[in-house]
Structure 1
Amino acid sequence: MEHETTIFGIRAVIEAIKSGENIDKIFLQKGLHGELFTELEQLLHKERLNSSYVPVEKLNRLTQKN
């Protein structure tokens, strides 16, 4: 059985990608801007990772347990 871990936070996701973690999908909040978010988007494009832009309500449902 595969162990699933949910990571949230821009910086945490960037560090997970850079460390070579196996990532299935990344959910990005619609409408975010900024230097750190731009860095994340560039890294996602470079590494060809699967991502989706979602409303904040979906992110709240996913992280409600944490």
Structure 2
Amino acid sequence: YVDNGSSYRSNHLSLVCAKLGVALIHARPYRPQGKGKIERWFKTVRGQLLIRLTNDDTGSLE
């Protein structure tokens, strides 16, 4: 499941997914329960990973 942002609606992403055999399913707007697993993962990342990072750690991610 993906968001409805412009990057997820692009022809390029559709073509890449088709070549890889990935089904691209757009979630309904403003309905996070339609993407429960990924929303839960984001919550975990924000709550456990991001709080452990310092500014020094994130400088190498750019």
Using structure 2 for the length normalisation, give the TM-score.
0.37
Using structure 1 for the length normalisation, give the TM-score.
0.36
Choose between structure 1 and 2: higher helix proportion.
Answer: 2
Choose between structure 1 and 2: higher strand proportion.
Answer: 1
User: Which structure has the larger Rg over C-alpha atoms?
Assistant: 2
Point out which structure has higher relative CO (alpha carbons under 8 A, 6+ apart).
Answer: 1
